[in-house]
Amino acid sequence: MQTYSYFNENISHNISCNEYSLNSIDYNTLKNIQFKEDFEKRYQLSYKIEYELDLHKFELIITLGQGSFGRVLLVVFEQNKIEYALKVLDKSKIVKYNQIKHVQNEIRILNAIRHPNIIIMHSLFKDNSYIYVLMEYVRGGDLFSYINKLKVFQEHITLFFAAQIVLVFEYLHFFNIIYRDLKPENILVDHHGYLKLADFGFAKQIQQRTYTLCGTPDYFSPEILQSKGHGKPTDWWTLGARMPI
């Protein structure tokens, strides 16, 4: 794991060198090449996506995290020695806590989206007891750990992070997907200092507004708390209210 001092130096270097373009995507051009249609095809096919993978071909390294419905493991695929994050979801708990729809939404969305600041889902497979989601492993950990260590970020780092989240929300909202759970624990930092948004359990494709009370209570937007319906603006509120400056 890299040090926090290296983290700051690396971020500053990346900004000054302009290695990563933060220009907004030209969505009119994307429409002309059937960008949205391709997304919808992947989104609709997600229920049928399943790959045959042998768990015995993965070496378990450590447990990265524990959640209400399962855990995330760091594993290595023995054939190519590549590290992955393996999300293991307990089917019985998903049914018990009525989370079937949320899990389905997360899988469908992760299978359909393609963005450099969103974690990659590589594969999906299941057995009688568990659902296994094989994902990209992001080596730098989550943003929450950096906030705990540094307390506040320098302004240029905050702007660099915020710009990446803006691009993610623009991308998701273009497909009428709201995220609804932006918090430091769900933002991963790679070894170059770039962000990867993870955990799409509360993400949802909407037409106008939705009324489900969901997310993390400490990060609820006013419209979610009022239960009068919410949409894309709830993501922007959370971004503005929660950036560490």
**Binding site residue list:** 87
Q: Report whether 112 contacts 43 (CB < 8 A).
A: yes
Q: In angstroms, what CA-CA distances link 192 with 2, 8, 29, 81, 165?
A: 10, 10, 29, 21, 16
**Which of 201, 205, 198, 214 lies closest to 103, judged by CA?**
201
Backbone dihedral angles phi then psi of residue 205, each to the nearest 5 degrees: -90, 125
The dihedral formed by the CA atoms of 230, 231, 237 and 243, expressed in degrees to the nearest 10: 120
Backbone dihedral angles phi then psi of residue 182, each to the nearest 5 degrees: -75, 120
Q: Which residues are annotated as a binding site for ATP?
A: 87
Which of 54, 127, 142, 181 is the catalytic position?
A: 181
Q: How far is CA 239 from the centre of its chain?
A: 14
Report d(CA 94, CA 142) in Å as an integer: 25
Active site residue 38: no
Active site residue ranges: 181
